[in-house]
Homo-oligomer: A and B are copies of this chain.
């Protein structure tokens, strides 16, 4: 099993199955552990499916992850894949879930400057940089996991990022419309944009990083950090 996983789509396409996630707190990504209470066979199959999926990605890239192929590789029926993960996006998201949780744990309760303890402005800077590098690492998967436009912002994981940035912003610029500002900032960290800038326009990640720091400084009306 290559990924510690958790499923997190929103609208269950199958009546009463699908792992529950609707109640996900704004800042808490669903139930804690890896395996929610599933029937034994279901749990086994899910693990097999995720392992198969990540193997397929390694072999043929994210594009080669076809639902049928995953099902076959896990020696499972196609319907099982959809029941468990809702749709293709759900499966891909599940593969990203591990790192999403890690990042979230880091900025919610990890050591400064990402976690609490550092001043908000520093945390915001660190947050962007962290997200930037994380996205860059898993860029292919991030792009493939991108849901259709109308669902891009509803996913709990996305909501958690938004909320966190919003909370930080409120401490830095209490008089601004932090909800909108947060979205503007997060737009800069969108995987699709990162892909375009780095892979299509050849801009190095370091420049994007400087760009983030600068953007934060401008948006918050603060000075660049002194280093």
Q: Which residues of A contact B (CB under 8 A)?
A: 143, 146, 148-150, 152-154, 176-177, 179-181, 183-185, 187-188, 190-193, 195-197, 200, 203, 207-208, 210-211, 214-215, 218-221
> For residue A149, which residue of chain B has the nearest CB?
B192
Instruction: Check if B219 sits within 8 Å of A215, measured CB to CB.
Output: yes
- A146 CB → nearest B CB, Å: 5
Within 8 Å by CB of A149, from B146, B187, B208, lies B146
The secondary-structure label for the interface of chain A is: helix
Within 8 Å by CB of A150, from B143, B152, B220, lies B143
Within 8 Å by CB of A190, from B185, B187, B200, lies B187
Within 8 Å by CB of A183, from B181, B188, B221, lies B188
Instruction: Check if B177 sits within 8 Å of A207, measured CB to CB.
Output: yes
- Residues from chain B with a CB closer than 8 A to the CB of A176 are 214, 218
> For residue A173, which residue of chain B has the nearest CB?
B218
Query: Given A183-B197, A184-B188, A221-B218, are A143 and B149 neighbors across the interface (CB < 8 Å)?
Result: yes
The CA-CA distance from A197 to B184 in the complex, in Å, is 12
- Residues from chain B with a CB closer than 8 A to the CB of A197 are 180, 183
Complex A-B: 22 CB contacts under 8 Å: A143-B150, A146-B148, A146-B149, A150-B195, A150-B196, A153-B193, A154-B196, A176-B214, A177-B211, A177-B214, A180-B188, A180-B215, A181-B214, A181-B218, A183-B188, A183-B197, A184-B211, A187-B188, A215-B219, A218-B218, A218-B220, A221-B221
